[in-house]
Amino acid sequence: MVKFAHIADAHLGYEQYRLPYRAAEFAEAFRRAVEISVREDVDFILISGDLFHQSRPSPETLKEAIEILSTPRDRGIPVFAIEGNHDRTQRRISAYHLLEGLGLLNLVGLREEGVENEHLKSRRLGNKFLVKGVFEKNGESIEIHGMRYMSAAWLEKNPLEGMFRPKGDAILMLHQGIKELVEEMMGVLPESQRDYFELKLGDLPKGYLYYALGHIHKNFETTYDIGKLVYPGSLQRWDFGDYETRYRWDGRAFKAREGTRKGFYIVEDWNPRFVELKVRPFVDIRIEADEETARRELERLGKKIPKEAFVRLDLKWERPFDVSAFYSLLPVRYLYVRTRFERKSRKGEKSGEVPKVEDYFHPIELKAIELTGVKKLGNVEGVIELFLEGEWEPKEDGTEGKAEEPREKAERAEKEAKKSPREHEEEKVREKKAPQKKGKDLLAWLGGER
């Protein structure tokens, strides 16, 4: 009877949202997964790709990986690994080779040179070597086949069935998305993980007892042919689509929905058991309501949300309102406010008539939209100028604002914006306790994106 751990997508070194402490948390999750596996006395550990977030991990990240993987090595627990799309390299030597040289893991897959040792065996395949893992215990032998992430184009030319054939009890490790399974998961896949597939289910060679997959960051398990097929998912939450809890406003109340668990697998006698890890909670909130309702309801909801949570707040209403106060309603570790304010059609308007954008916005508002656009935050300086220079007065429905010569002002602001191109598209989120920026309220009004 064999017992092993299956870990995937640890993403060591990932400073999520540019927060160094998130990289520490990704490392911590991996450390706990390995420690639990060792404590459970597994026979071996599988790492199904994306151990690192980048193909060239920093010395600090490498040091962490070495420290964590030293425990199983010192206990004589072999680790078998494949490279993922994040950490594979086009060069001959990757960080995995370095770890292998230190006796910390065994790299399975296509390699330039053959390897023959206690845990690895090779056979020629064209001008390369296909290296497989071998684990023996009490006369029982298990083969661990697999290879690193490959593109859809490569896989089309090199069908897996031609390369992998199970012999006896065998495991197949791959770091790929599979069309049918991705489609099945679609509903709750992290947002950045949609349409991630290079294979169809039928492309998988049959006859393996366990398909140890990686790449899809959501935990998922099913069966294929005679075996179990498992994606453990990433060890930490990947984005706000990968939430722990989601709240949607239905017009009267927030409806809560639980997201996916985070963790890895311990497989005993070919039966996978999920081991949940307590990780940083991500909460995704969406509300479409007026300012007063949104304030009241978020204040109430805020009491239910853990202080250490990362929260995305999606606000939508038909007129803009000041969202700066919302930061104090949700006293969490990290808050990202996303706003969409769209005016609905006015009363008395003939249906079927296409409304003109000029009917809804003050010229300065229009210019502001043009300046900022989507993700053009570098122009925010220009927008601030635009508003701070006065004469700005919100335009009530159907009435004109009092701004004089808005076009000239807008043009001047645009020039200002071009003079000071700043780093944009990043730091869209204001972290709790971050220094308050000048013009904060205005920016919050404009999109809450800083």
Which is closer to Mn ion, CB of 49 or CB of 406? 49
Cβ atoms of 430 and 384 closer than 8 Å? no
**Strand 79-82 with 106-107, pairing:** parallel
For residue 102, what are its two tokens?
Answer: 């230190």
CB nearer to Mn ion: pick between 282 and 392? 282
The Cα–Cα gap between 205 and 296 comes to: 56
CB of 22 to Mn ion, least distance (A): 15
Closer CB to Mn ion, 166 or 259, in the complex: 259
CB closer to Mn ion out of 26 and 210: 26
Cβ at position 84, least distance to Mn ion in Å? 5
- 53 tagged catalytic: no
Q: Which residue in 246, 202, 211 sits closest to 232, CA to CA?
A: 211
Taking the complex as a whole, how short is the minimal distance between the CB of residue 387 and Mn ion, in angstroms?
Answer: 42
Distance CA 13, CA 55 (A): 10
Nearer to Mn ion, 193 or 379 (CB): 193
The residue of the chain with the least Cβ separation from Mn ion equals 50
Beta-bridge partners for 316 = 288, 340
DSSP letter for 444, please.
H
From the candidates 53, 86, 119, 215, which is the catalytic residue? Answer: 86
Residue ranges binding Mn ion (CB under 5 A)? 9, 50
Report phi then psi at 167, rounded to 5: -125, 115
- CA proximity to 151, closest of 195, 85, 87: 85
Residue 200, SS3 per DSSP: coil
β pairing state of 3-7 and 106-107: unpaired
Q: Give min distance, CB of 192 to Mn ion, in A.
A: 10
The DSSP annotation for 378-413 comes to GGHHHHHHHHHTS---PPPTTS----SSHHHHHHHH
Report the nearest approach of Mn ion to the CB of residue 348 (Å).
54
What's CA 216's distance to the chain center, in Å? 10
Q: Which is nearer to Mn ion, 9 or 314 (CB)?
A: 9
- Min separation Cβ 215 and Mn ion, Å: 6
Residue 201 CB, nearest distance to Mn ion (Å)? 20
Kindly write down the DSSP assignment for every residue of 34-87, as one continuous string: HHHHHHTT-SEEEEES-SBSSSS--HHHHHHHHHHHHHHHHTT--EEEE--TTT
For the CB of residue 431, give the shortest distance to Mn ion in the complex, in Å.
24
Give 109 or 320: the residue with its C-beta nearer to Mn ion: 109
Q: Please, which residues have CB within 8 angstroms of residue 127's CB and are 6 or more apart in sequence?
A: none
401 to 313, 366, 375, 444: CA distances (angstroms): 31, 13, 27, 22
The HSE-up count of residue 118 (CA atoms within 13 Å, CB side) is 8
Nearer to Mn ion, 50 or 100 (CB): 50
Pairing status of strand 3-7 against strand 263-268: antiparallel
Give the whole-angstrom CA distance, residue 396 versus residue 390. Answer: 17
Residues with a catalytic annotation lie at 86
